[in-house]
Chain A
Amino acid sequence: MKKFLASALFAAALMATGCVKSPVVGGAYTDVKDGLAVTGNAGSSKVGTAEVKGYLGLVALGDASIQTAAREAGITRIHHVDYQTKSYVGVYTIYTIIVYGD
């Protein structure tokens, strides 16, 4: 019974790794960049980032809002937004939002 519960918990943790925001997810390792949004504003000279970190698929902390990323670089006109997801066996996950603009 204990083995079954341990296996179930491990499976649940692995399933949680599939919860990372990414077009393609790897159960063991994920390192993916993707686009999120584009606006009609022309060009960009500044880049800002913000991130959220997750631990063991149980705890996730941070602020990866577009507003926060824009503020980190003093961006007031957003050109486009990308994101990057990294996950190591679901034990450690990082989601980074990347905002380009002026």
Chain B
Amino acid sequence: MAVFFAVGATLAASGQNIRSHYVSKAETDGVIYHTLPVTLFEHPEAGDLTFDITYKEHQTGRATLNFTCRMVRPETVDSVRFISDGVVLAGPVEKLYLEPEKRGWKHRYTFDLDASQLCGFFDEKALPEATLYIGGEPWVYRAKRSAWRTYAPIGYRIFEMIRVNEAR
């Protein structure tokens, strides 16, 4: 039994490369990349914020960030602002859907951002925040320190790889 766990743990540890954190697909007009959903932010009352990012080469240089959060009541989020050590990703959001759950409501929103800022955003040493604006009122989600420090280098490498490939 111990051998199985040891093998599993070893293989899992060796799998800590970026390949398991994104998917990509080559198409006629460029490669489309998608980071798998990750939960790096939390709000003391509202809970976790999970997001994923999609980017397609040779388009407008814009990436799409979709995020999920949960609230007690259905709310209309106007805009969002992610800040990481001086790098600001902000803009109005568009609703994908709201859905009632056992406790509260699941909110799914999307917004466009400047993809060139993503390498700078994933700074391991930063402690970023995500702020949702609901009727002008801010809801601040703070980064989970350990999760951020683990994922930030992965996020950086993914978008560095995209930048290098797109520039060839």
Interface residues of A (CB under 8 A from B): 10, 28-29, 31, 33, 43-49, 71-74, 80, 82, 84, 86, 88-89, 91, 96, 98, 100
Contacts and interface: CB of A to CB of B under 8 A. Distances in A.
Contacts, number: 63
Contact of A89 (B8, B37, B56): B8
Contacts of B1: 10
Contact of B96 (A72, A96, A98): A72
A88 B8 contact: yes
A29 B7 contact: yes
A46 B64 CA distance: 8
Interface residues of B, number: 28
Nearest to B29: A43
A98 B34 contact: yes
A27 to B, nearest CB: 8
B8 A84 contact: no
A45 B44 CA distance: 34
B32 A47 contact: yes
B20 interface: yes
Contact of A47 (B8, B12, B15, B34): B34
A46 B40 CA distance: 22
